[in-house]
Structure 1
Amino acid sequence: MTKRQRYSAEFRTKTALEARREDLTTAGLSRTDGSHPTMIGGWTKTATANMASAFDGVSSAEPTISERNDAKLHARIGHVAVGRGALPEASGLIPGTGGKTR
């Protein structure tokens, strides 16, 4: 008994878009990608049906940052900025550098 092939979402999307472009037939795509033509047809139908959700106005690509995380990030940025400001002063304390900075 053979093991069922699992295809990633990226692979299915890429193949469905290639099928929509119609440069190759589904049979030709199946030969190059190694998937079955019926599967490519299903992926293309699913991609076409779900295209409208990409333009529905709700952007799921932007992560929401809570006020607490925002405050943590600003504190971390301040901490890093203060640390970087102290580096040139500390380099003068290293023997052999002569107080030179880059």
Structure 2
Amino acid sequence: MNKRNQYSAEFKTKVVLEALREEGTVNEIAARHGVNPVMVSRWKAEFLERAAEVFKKGPSTAEKELESERERVAQLERKIGQLTYEVDWLKKKSDEILNRKRP
């Protein structure tokens, strides 16, 4: 089985910007960077498709999801703290009750 190459976002951006500046044909740019010309075309299309997101006002979808996940984690941490406190209190009270019954 062949392992797929994974390229960083910085690398993809560099290649796409070269393609957009028309510093050569897609085939030349692909050969220069050792990638398939089809990948360069896909990256370029995806880049152009998402370019409008850069100028949108307000948080992006990913930022909204991240914030909601942070809120969920904070809520769970508060619940863990509350339950830990309750367990400790119950242990203390059960020890007091058990120690009173023993002579």
- Unpaired stretches in structure 1, ≥5 consecutive residues: 61-102
- Report percent identity of matched pairs: 38
Matched, 1:2 2:2: yes
Question: What amino acid does structure 1 have at the position aligned with 2:21?
Answer: R
Deviations 1:37-95 (A, max 9, x none): 000000000000111010112367xxxxxxxxxxxxxxxxxxxxxxxxxxxxxxxxxxx
Structure 1 CA distance for aligned equivalents of residues 4 and 23 of structure 2: 28
Please state which structure has a larger fraction of its residues in helix: 2
Counting only pairs closer than 5 Å after superposition, residues 1-102 of structure 1 correspond to structure 2 as 1-58=1-58
The more displaced of 16-25 and 1-10 is 1-10
TM-score, length-scaled by structure 2: 0.54
Over the aligned positions, Cα root-mean-square deviation in angstroms equals 2.1
- Unpaired stretches in structure 2, ≥5 consecutive residues: 61-103
Between Structure 1 and Structure 2, how many residues are aligned?
Answer: 62
Choose 1 or 2 for highest CA Rg: 2
TM-score, length-scaled by structure 1: 0.54
Question: What amino acid does structure 2 have at the position aligned with 1:45?
Answer: A
